[in-house]
Amino acid sequence: MAVADNSFSMSTMFNALPYSKGISGFIPPPGFAPRASATPLHAALFNLMTDGEGVSYFKGMISKSDKTVLQRMASLLTSDSDYFMAIVTNKYGSRRVQKLLGKSDDADALFCAAILRRFLHITTDKYATYVTIRAMVVFDKEMKKAMYEHILYHALDLACDQHGCIALNDIITDSDDPYYRDQLLDLVASNALCLSNDASGNFVVQHVLTLYDLRCTHNIAVNLYGHCIDLSFKKYGSYIVEKLLEAEESMVVVVVELLDCDGDTLMRLARNEFGNFVVVKALRFTKAMSKIDLFWGLVQKLMPFLHLLRRSHGSNIASILDSFRLRC
């Protein structure tokens, strides 16, 4: 970490840090394993960024710092990838780095380069992932473009990670670039089947369906055709199928699959703890959307199993069928 040539007064900043007096350059704080070139200032800055008791001091220091000071602070923070990772993977370190983003284009350029060097590790970490999310809100167009390229390359890895899927969902939602947004939606749609069966990926599929992008919704439905019944037997898979039933463009795909399956499969689905909600929604939405042929097709296919549905998770379906039987 070459910081000696920096014209910024490192000693001034070091003396300004709240915990500098008790820190030796040879005894690093917990969580920081410095390289041989690390200075006492690195340890002091590490404490400033990660100590839970330094919140108010940090806010005050940043509010009084001009862009030159922020840039030099960013330079020190990003001068070594391991050092930067140790900070952003810390709960408080992540929050304070987020506070530094968007205040200076020059500082942002340094932070962008640091994030891209460890992009996947940062964006799949419990705390560091929020640094990526914040960066995608405040970075300028060119920096966002570089970030988007990494996001696209690692999109499936992010989608299948418990923390990465949160970042991916937020990035897709807040995207202000139509090209990259469509690229990400297309990637999710084309991989809908594997993502729907993944513990984290299914949340990404659920999320993009709530965006009501008609083209994406249609593509997801097409790619899941033939698998909707299998998904409906699973907790999170059933959520995806229920969301497909809410849009007319995809509802027909799901209901056709329900009508094409054999009666025993539909009966088991209707009695299943998760599948019964799919069947109920199929009945309600085909009726609400005036898809009368599909609605009566489901009613007629379910009616022979009415007695089995009454004493099962399908009792709500039995109530719907009873109401129409009485009318007839």
Model pLDDT for residues 221-237, shown as the tens digit of each residue: 999 999 999 999 999 99
Gap between the Cα atoms of 86 and 234, Å rounded? 38
Q: How many angstroms separate the Cα of 260 from the Cα of each of 8, 53, 255, 273, 299?
A: 72, 62, 9, 21, 14
Q: How many angstroms separate the Cα of 189 from the Cα of each of 52, 105, 128, 129, 171?
A: 42, 35, 27, 23, 16
pLDDT digits (tens, 9 = 90+) for 290-308: 999 999 999 999 999 999 9
Place 322 in a pLDDT band, splitting at 50, 70 and 90: confident
pLDDT digits (tens, 9 = 90+) for 73-109: 999 999 999 999 999 999 999 999 999 999 999 999 9
Tell me, yes or no, whether 268 lies in a domain: yes
Q: Is the pLDDT of residue 326 over 80?
A: no
* Domain endpoint, select from 98, 117, 136: 117
* Domain endpoint, select from 70, 102, 117: 117
Q: Is the pLDDT of residue 33 over 70?
A: no
Tell me, yes or no, whether 186 lies in a domain: no
pLDDT digits (tens, 9 = 90+) for 52-64: 887 888 888 888 8
This prediction has a pTM of: 0.86
Domain limits for position 65: 1-117
Tell me, yes or no, whether 122 lies in a domain: no
Q: Is the pLDDT of residue 274 over 60?
A: yes
Mean pLDDT of 150-155: 98
Q: Is the pLDDT of residue 273 over 60?
A: yes
Instruction: For tokens 């922020």, name the residue.
Output: 70
Collect contacts of 117-122 with beta carbons under 8 A, ≥24 apart. Answer: 117/81, 118/81, 118/84, 118/85, 119/150, 119/154, 120/154, 120/157, 120/158, 120/164, 121/85, 122/85, 122/88, 122/89
* Domain endpoint, select from 117, 134, 163: 117
Gap between the Cα atoms of 254 and 284, Å rounded? 13
What is the chain's Cα-based Rg? 27
Place 37 in a pLDDT band, splitting at 50, 70 and 90: low
Tell me, yes or no, whether 242 lies in a domain: yes
pLDDT digits (tens, 9 = 90+) for 167-200: 999 999 999 999 999 999 999 999 999 999 999 9
Tell me, yes or no, whether 316 lies in a domain: yes
- Which residue stretches of 22-90 are H helix? 40-50, 55-63, 67-77, 81-88
Tell me, yes or no, whether 37 lies in a domain: yes
Place 155 in a pLDDT band, splitting at 50, 70 and 90: very high
| pLDDT on residue 26 | 37
User: What mean pLDDT is reported for the chain?
Assistant: 89
